[in-house]
Amino acid sequence: MAIGAERLREILEVAEIARPRQLPPEEFGIAPGPGTPAAWQLLRYTLSPLEFLEECARRFGDSFLVRLAGYGQFVMLSAPEAVHDVFRGDPHALHSGEGNEFLIPTVGRNSVLVLDDEPHARQRRILLPPLKGERMRSFFDAMQAATLEAVRAWPAGRPLGMLEPMQQITLRVILQAVLGLEAGSERDDIEGQVRRLLVQGRSRYSFILLKVLPVRLLQKTRWLPFYRQLHALNETLYALIGSRRQQPASARGENVLTDLLAASHDDGRSLGDDEIRDALMTLILAGHDTTSIALAWALEQIVPRPEVMGRITDELRNTTGGTLPLAEHLARLEYLDAAIRESLRIRTILPFVVRLTKQTFVAGGREYPPGVVLCPCSHLVHRRADLYPEPLIFRPERFLERTYSGHEWFPFGGGNRTCLGMAFALYEMKAVLSTLFTQSCLVRPPGSRSTAVRRGVSLAPHDGVLMVVNGNDP
């Protein structure tokens, strides 16, 4: 049977992506890291990522090499000076999009996540404005309404995992911010499609499956449930883009899709449907699962600590006078803000970020050749006792006593790749938690303990963070 040239190219690409890149560690002049086979390291990183990184840091110090089969070699950096150099580095010298190419089948070739250089900077210029400042604050009502809707549905007196309702809240918010969808059947349909897609993509083994399965071939089929759901969501997004194009600009509402339809390339061309779909998919997927996990972890850290809860409820009462918080109250909730930052420090969602050196690059006084993946590792930096005394203790006050720079606290990454939704996520967390804490009294069931497990690329609580609702409207 003859194989078409296109199919042959795809097979070769699959083979290429599955082959680990091997550079001799001595070339970097750094501690070599574990000597175990790359497949074993990938398995360890998949099953217990944080323990694996901590163990390596104990054995090998501030920078070490890990080898993950199929993904290549990663230089983990946990010295703040080295992280500073990477985040301040020239974007042409350090690429991140190349390192994220395994995301292309899902978010597309035009996604900001997989682009570098000028195309990357251009996407950021289009996508950032609606996710910060006044535009972001205009979504406060949507954030509060989604929270109140979730709280009202909670059964009193029996344990309930918090992750699921947090996901419902953040999905509704992102669909409104990105697509302008308000309550109704259209939103419910798309919500269902995103949920079904994510259920398929959340396996703790997805990191391994991505390398074992011929992803580039399978993505064109509907054999795997993940790709079936992806095709369905794609069709919906293309249909939505088409119908919004037909509407007059004034009827499209304020949302990211409206901005994308109005945006143009430097030569004046409008963005094509594929570019718009890739941007929408990127924001929907990057923008809600992470935030819901962060909210669940924040509840896990805050609720069982009476002294922390006490300070938060006092601050809320003093600021709002005991009523539902308003948008203008949020900026005054400084202790809640510190508690959110501390929970993002102590509970890791994405342990490190990646930068591929395109030319010789100096980080932390060490020279790296081109072709090395440098990884500022937030998990390890956030646990440094010289930056965070008694790092395993949850103490929001540290964020009131001093300011941490972008290379000392970076759950959202840094430099020219800093998370596009950082301001949005922090604002949303504050809006949701302040509303939640004025509306319900949560208690952690005695003996509960949540451990971090992989959920796709993120680390989420294995039990969803169980809470008992002891009556609403305290």
Closest separation in Å from C-beta 8 to ligand HEM: 32
325 vs 415 by CB, closer to ligand HEM: 415
Angstrom distance (rounded) from CA 424 to CA 290: 12
The residue from 70, 72, 80, 411 that contacts ligand HEM (CB under 6 A) is 411
- List helix spans (H) across 130-224: 133-137, 140-152, 163-179, 185-201, 206-212, 215-218
Looking at beta carbons only, is 89 or 421 nearer to ligand HEM? 421
| CA dist list (Å): 66 to 97, 101, 152, 289, 373 | 20, 19, 47, 27, 10
29: left (phi over 0), alpha (psi -120 to 50) or beta: left
Q: Which range in 6-14, 267-275, 345-353, 380-388 contacts ligand HEM by CB under 6 A? A: 345-353
Stretch that binds ligand HEM, among 30-38, 222-230, 348-356, 432-440 (CB under 6 A): 348-356
Q: How far is the CB of 350 from ligand HEM (least distance, A)?
A: 4
Among 79, 82, 112, 308, binds ligand HEM (CB under 6 A): 112
Among 131, 356, 431, 436, binds ligand HEM (CB under 6 A): 131
Question: Closest distance between ligand HEM and the C-beta of residue 248, in Å?
Answer: 26
CA–centroid distance for 295 within its chain: 12
Query: Measured from the CB of residue 259, what is the shortest distance to ligand HEM in angstroms?
Result: 13
Can residue 82 be called a binding residue for ligand HEM (CB under 6 A)?
no
Q: Which stretch binds ligand HEM (CB under 6 A): 183-191, 333-341, 415-423, 436-444?
A: 415-423
Q: Does 108 bind ligand HEM (CB under 6 A)?
A: no
Token look-up 């972890």 returns 297
By the rule CB under 6 A, 122 interacts with ligand HEM: no
DSSP codes, 48-90: -HHHHHHHHHHHH-SEEEEEETTTEEEEEE--HHHHHHHHTS-
Nearer to ligand HEM, 65 or 286 (CB): 286
Residue closer to ligand HEM (CB basis): 96 or 167? 96
Which parts of 277-296 interact with ligand HEM (CB under 6 A)?
Answer: 282-283, 286-287, 290-291, 294
Of 233 and 294, which CB lies nearer to ligand HEM in the complex structure? 294
Binding of residue 301 to ligand HEM (CB under 6 A): no
User: Which amino acid, residue 87?
Assistant: F
Among 82, 420, 460, 466, binds ligand HEM (CB under 6 A): 420
- Please state the closest distance from residue 470 (CB atom) to ligand HEM, in A: 27
Burial (CB < 10 A; 0-12, 13-18, 19+), residue 431, is buried
In the complex, minimum distance from the CB of residue 92 to ligand HEM, in angstroms, rounded to a whole number: 15
The answer to whether 301 and 346 have CB atoms below 8 angstroms apart is yes
- How many residues touch ligand HEM under the rule CB under 6 A: the total is 26
Q: How far apart are CA 283 and CA 127, in angstroms?
A: 9
The answer to whether residue 419 forms part of the interface with ligand HEM (CB under 6 A) is yes
Considering the rule CB under 6 A, would residue 412 count as an interface residue with ligand HEM? yes
Q: How many CB atoms lie within 10 A of CB 4?
A: 8
Neighbouring C-alpha atoms within 13 Å toward the C-beta of 104 = 17
Closest CA to 254 of 132, 143, 144, 130: 130
* C-alpha span between 434 and 11 (Å, rounded): 52
- 203: which 2 tokens? 């396996």
Q: How far is the CB of 103 from ligand HEM (least distance, A)?
A: 10
Stretch that binds ligand HEM, among 228-236, 247-255, 408-416, 435-443 (CB under 6 A): 408-416
Among 53, 349, 375, 466, indicate the residue that binds ligand HEM (CB under 6 A).
349
- In whole angstroms, give the CA distance from residue 422 to residue 304: 26
- The H-or-E segment that residue 159 falls in is strand 159-161
**Binding ligand HEM by CB under 6 A: which of 56, 312, 353, 375?**
353
Q: 315 — alpha (psi -120 to 50), left (phi > 0) or beta? A: alpha
Q: Which of 74, 366, 106 is nearest to 237 (CA)?
A: 106
Q: Does 132 bind ligand HEM (CB under 6 A)?
A: no
User: Which residue in 69, 381, 94, 394 sits closest to 210, CA to CA?
Assistant: 69
Under the binding rule (CB under 6 A), the answer on residue 255 touching ligand HEM is no
Nearer to ligand HEM, 72 or 411 (CB): 411
Q: Which residues bind ligand HEM (CB under 6 A)?
A: 96, 112-113, 124, 131, 282-283, 286-287, 290-291, 294, 349-350, 353, 411-414, 417-421, 424-425
